[in-house]
Structure formats: structure tokens, C-alpha cells
Amino acid sequence: MLILGIESSCDETGVALVQAQARGVPRLVGATLHSQVAMHRDYGGVVPELASRDHIRRVLPLTEAVLAQAAVPVQAIDAVAYTRGPGLAGALLVGAGVAAAMAMALGVPALPVHHLEGHLLSPFLSADPPEFPFVALLVSGGHTQLMRVDGVGRYQLLGETIDDAAGEAFDKSAKVLGLGYPGGPALSRLAQSGDPQAFALPRPLLHSGDLDFSFAGLKTAVLTQARKLGPALEARKADLAAATEAAIVDVLVHKSLAALRATGLQRLVVAGGVGANQRLRQRLGEAAARHGWRLHYPEVALCTDNGAMIALAAAMRWQAGLAPLAPADGAFDVAPRWPLEAVTVVGTDH
């Protein structure tokens, strides 16, 4: 089964091909990506209308490129997977529309995929794929969730952010520090030359006893600190960046450990853009070595949004014998707000 995957939920157009047999981990046979980051930079964030228009420009050339890369004719495609949600409605419609049209022209199914299920399963394409069950820490620009994952489609929400996502906390704090967009990677780079203990920033909900997160207050604390520093901020920027990163990472690590303790599981999968953060990786790595549990990440290129994880999620749902999440017969829709629980087809039995 050769599955083409199309991702267009936000500011990356990703197209990839995944080959799946009835059993075994599916194999990535080609992937292309266009990031719109440079286009949105002038505006300090993603402009939805510009994002949609750019997806339209990119999606077909990227599809042609991925077919050429894999050296397969378009007729070899057995199904076309696309991100149905969550994401920006107009951006999602581009991928969904193209997928539905291609599927209809080829006489193959169009398979809607949940964006977060893609992130969650993306480490299966790595050189060291996980085994079920595991705890997943999903940390992206729009989401911060801890899930118990017992199998494909078997997800249980353990905790999530009650306000901003971790990536949003990085991005908003970076904006305060004048680091441009997207701020996460820039803040993290600057933090390397700063002292994480230079400022005492809050660790919201650290000892709340549950597995929820809250990051909105952190951005305010960074803003307050920056104002207090005034003209001195310039010289202390790296310190404030390091303290911000340390606060976010502390909370993510603490709650991930609590989730492993609460479930008794021995594996942690980290997915989503913030999973690329080096301090987070280092701190989790130390904890894993100390406690003897396993840690899995997607390949670096698959941490942020991409088409491979969408094709993979469709492939793994097919392997698991799960019905497509789809309106059939050429109809398509998108789901800008779509909880992951909606694609949980079997309850967890623990």
C-alpha cells in the first residue's frame, strides 16, 4: 500500500510517500516540504489568508517532486491521506481539496488524518521506533498534551494546557525579547549563552498534583522582567532567554515524569516542534538514564509539521484495521477544531 500524505494545516506544505505492508513499520520512500516561515516573518506570525494561497502554489509542484524523488508514477498511489484538522480552515481546505480530487481521479480512497495523531506516531519512522504502550508528550505551537497511548487509535488524555501551548510560550516570550518569528528556535539559540538561573521565573502548576499545564503567566512574567530591566535588557537578553527556556523545560520534564509514574509505563515519546529543543532533550535524557526508562523522538526533520507523519498515521490506521475517519465518495471536509479523543476508536483497557 503506497500512501501519499499531504499536510497543510498551518505554515508548512508537506508532501510525502509512505509504503506499508500489512505488518511491520511503514517505510518512508520520499518527502518534500516547503516552509512559509520567511513569508510570515514580516508579520510576526502566521497570516491565514497568505498561508492558504501559498499552499495552493506549492502543493502540486511538491507532489510532483516527491513522485520524482521516489521514482514512481502517480498511478502507483493506493490512497491519498491529508490533514483534516486541527488547523487553519483555509489552509486545511487546500490539502483536503487536492487530496480528494487526486483520489477521485485515481479511483483510490482519500484518507483524513488527525494532525496530532501524525505527530504522535511520527517516531515510528525513526531508526529507533517505540513499542506500545507509551506516554506521549505532544508539544507544538498549538498543543501541549500528555497522552497514554496503548495502540493506534487508543489514546487517553492525561493532561493538557489550560491556556497557552509550550510552543506559544516560547514564541510569545521570544517576541518580548525582540527575537522575531518563530521565536522558539531563536530563543533557544540565544539561551545557550545565558544563565538559566539569572532570573526566578514562575513554573506554573508545577506542584498542582495533576498533569495539566499553564504557560500564559510565564509570558507576562517575562514581559514584567523585561520592562524592569529597561535599557539594561539588551545586555541581559541571553540570561532572560535562558531563564525562560529553563522554566518551560522544567515544567515539561516534571509533568512527563509524573505521567510515567502515574501510568507505571516505561516509555516516553516526545513529538511536536518543541521536541526539537535541546535543553528539553538533555533534561529528559538525564531523567531517562536515572530512572531506566526509554525515550523516543521523531527524526529531527519530522519534529515539525510534515507530510510523512500524515501518510504514516493513515498507513498505521489501515494496518490496525481501523475504518477511515472519512466522508466517502469524493466528499471532503475539514475540522479546524478537532479533539484527538474524536479519533480514539477503542477505549483503553487498563
- The partner in contact with residue 194, picked from Zn ion, ligand KG4, none with C-beta cut-offs of 5 to 8 angstroms by kind, is none
Asked whether position 140 contacts Zn ion by CB under 5 A, the answer is yes
What are the residues facing 18 on neighbouring strands? 3, 28
Using the structure block, give the residue that is written with the C-alpha cell 492558504.
52
Nearer to ligand KG4, 20 or 309 (CB): 309
Give CA–CA dist 187/254, Å, rounded.
21
Q: Which of residues 271-330 bind ligand KG4 (CB under 6 A)?
A: 272-274, 276-277, 304-305
Three-class SS of residue 180? coil
The cell numbers describing 270, all together, are: 516526545
Asked whether position 95 contacts ligand KG4 by CB under 6 A, the answer is no
Any alpha helices (H) in the chain, and if so which ranges?
37-41, 48-70, 89-106, 115-121, 166-176, 183-191, 216-229, 233-263, 278-291, 308-319
Nearer to ligand KG4, 149 or 274 (CB): 274
Asked whether position 171 contacts Zn ion by CB under 5 A, the answer is no
Task: Please identify which residue in 97, 118, 167, 298 interacts with ligand KG4, judged by CB under 6 A.
Answer: 167
Size of the site for Zn ion (CB under 5 A): 2
Task: Please identify which residue in 36, 144, 188, 225 interacts with ligand KG4, judged by CB under 6 A.
Answer: 188
DSSP secondary structure letters along 133-154: SEEEEEE-SS-EEEEEEEETTE
Q: Considering only CA atoms, which of 217, 222, 142 is closest in space to residue 176? A: 222
- The partner in contact with residue 63, picked from ligand KG4, Zn ion, none with C-beta cut-offs of 5 to 8 angstroms by kind, is none
- Residues whose CB falls within 8 Å of the CB of residue 41, separated by 6 or more in sequence, listed in order: 180, 181
Nearer to ligand KG4, 133 or 182 (CB): 182
The cell numbers describing 191, all together, are: 539561551
CB of 111 to Zn ion, least distance (A): 18
Q: Residues in the site for ligand KG4, rule: CB under 6 A?
A: 10, 140-142, 167, 170-171, 182-185, 188, 272-274, 276-277, 304-305
Q: Residues in the site for Zn ion, rule: CB under 5 A?
A: 140, 305
